[in-house]
Amino acid sequence: NGKDELLYVKEFRNNHHQQGSSNDDDIDTDLFQSILLAEENEYSNTNNPGSYEANRQDDCSVRHQFLLQSGLEKMNEDVKFENQLRTTFDRQFVGNDYMWIGFICPIDEYRLYGYVTNTNVKIIVAVEDDILSEQEDLQKMRDTEIRKIFKRIHQYYVDYLQNPFASKRGKIKSRRFTERMQQISFFREI
């Protein structure tokens, strides 16, 4: 079982704040979120002391990276559990629905959502949110939005891989990819 290697991590900051109090019913509040992509890989070098240099260049604060990594561990447990539950007669083995893990856990003021592809690439999105557990409808709406975001991220990742100059392992270093990820927080309807 290999360790997870970090492919891409990013945090988003919104410069404009909502005027007045953040209303739970208002789902147009800006999301403050971070996104992590990781891939299971026996050649992973995340314990290599040389990789500290790399982390300093990432567009994400260390605290967020820490939160995302803990979410990743929890997600790996979830995935194992889920795989035991799923039988071969269950449902289709491809498609965005199959890859969706869902809400992993709340950490501090964030909620983490996970998604894993058939090639074991894991995507985690952390959303700043104060939906209480009673608010089922809000949770469902947030769920659908996040599903759409995952679909987009997966599509961007696939487009990145089709570039013949892209590396098959290791960090994602594509200008087009980073530009598109920057745009993600602005699109609410897909």
Partner 1 sequence: MPKANTELFALTYGSLVTELIKDYDNDIDEINKQLDRIGYSIGVRCIDELLSKCEVNGVDIGPCNSFQNTAEVVAKIGFRCFLGMTCDVTNVTENSFSLFLYENPLSIFVELPESGGGGLNDDDGGLNDDFGAAAGGSGGIKRLEWSKLKYSNIYCGVIRGALEQVNMKVSCNFARDVLRGDDVNEIKVELKEMLAEGAGEEYQDE
Encoded tokens for 58: 């990432």
Encoded tokens for 60: 């994400």
Report which DSSP code applies to 29.
S
Report which DSSP code applies to 16.
S
Q: Are 36 and 9 in contact (CB under 8 A)?
A: yes
76 SS3 class: helix
Encoded tokens for 108: 């501090």
Q: Which is nearer to partner 1, 165 or 186 (CB)?
A: 165
Q: Which is nearer to partner 1, 120 or 167 (CB)?
A: 167
Segment contacting partner 1 by CB under 8 A, of 70-78, 110-118, 146-154, 161-169: 161-169
Site for partner 1 in 168-187 (CB under 8 A): 168-171, 173-176
Segment contacting partner 1 by CB under 8 A, of 58-66, 88-96, 148-156, 162-170: 162-170
* Token pair 């897909």 in the structure block, residue: 190
Applying CB under 8 A, among 17, 162, 186, 189 the residue interacting with partner 1 is: 162
Q: Which is nearer to partner 1, 13 or 176 (CB)?
A: 176
Site for partner 1 in 21-80 (CB under 8 A): 50, 53-54
Segment contacting partner 1 by CB under 8 A, of 83-91, 96-104, 125-133, 164-172: 164-172
CB of residue 178 vs partner 1: minimum separation in angstroms? 11
Q: Are 175 and 10 in contact (CB under 8 A)?
A: no
10 - beta bridge partners? Answer: 35, 59
Half-sphere exposure (CA, 13 Å, Cβ side) for 43? Answer: 5
CB of residue 48 vs partner 1: minimum separation in angstroms? 10
> Is position 140 an interface residue for partner 1 (rule: CB under 8 A)?
no
CB of residue 172 vs partner 1: minimum separation in angstroms? 11
- Angle, nearest 10°, between helix axes 175-184 and 136-161? 170
Q: Which residues bind partner 1 (CB under 8 A)?
A: 50, 53-54, 159, 162-171, 173-176
